[in-house]
């Protein structure tokens, strides 16, 4: 996917909530060496949902384990 911005622990503090307003955020939990369990994914999903709700942030988040890849497919209408 083009124009994606990886959010690392180092740069997450630089963002303000206005930067994510109205955006789609894909959060990957774990990696090849340390895959996330279903419980870990659900825990992060709940924490993100609570953060957005508490701060009145309007965006969509999708939390998955690390191996999920998202592609945008456009119709040929």
- pLDDT for 54: 85
Confidence class of residue 57 from pLDDT cuts 50, 70 and 90? confident
For the chain, the domains span: 12-65
3-state SS of the chain is CCCCCCCCCCCHHHCCHHHHCCCEEEEEEECCCCECCHHHHHHHHHHHHHHHHHCCCCCEEEEEECCCCCCCCCCCC
Top-confidence residue, 77 or 25:
25
Task: Inform me whether the pLDDT recorded for 2 exceeds 60.
Answer: no
pLDDT in tens, 18-56: 677 888 888 999 999 999 999 999 999 999 888 888 888
């Amino acid at each position: 996917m083009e124009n994606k911005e990886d959010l690392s622990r180092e740069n997450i503090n630089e963002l303000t909530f206005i930067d994510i307003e109205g955006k789609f955020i894909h959060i990957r939990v774990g990696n090849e060496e340390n895959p996330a369990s279903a419980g870990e994914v659900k825990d992060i999903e709940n924490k993100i949902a609570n953060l957005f709700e508490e701060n009145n942030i309007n965006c969509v988040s999708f939390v998955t384990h690390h191996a999920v890849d998202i592609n945008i497919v456009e119709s040929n209408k």
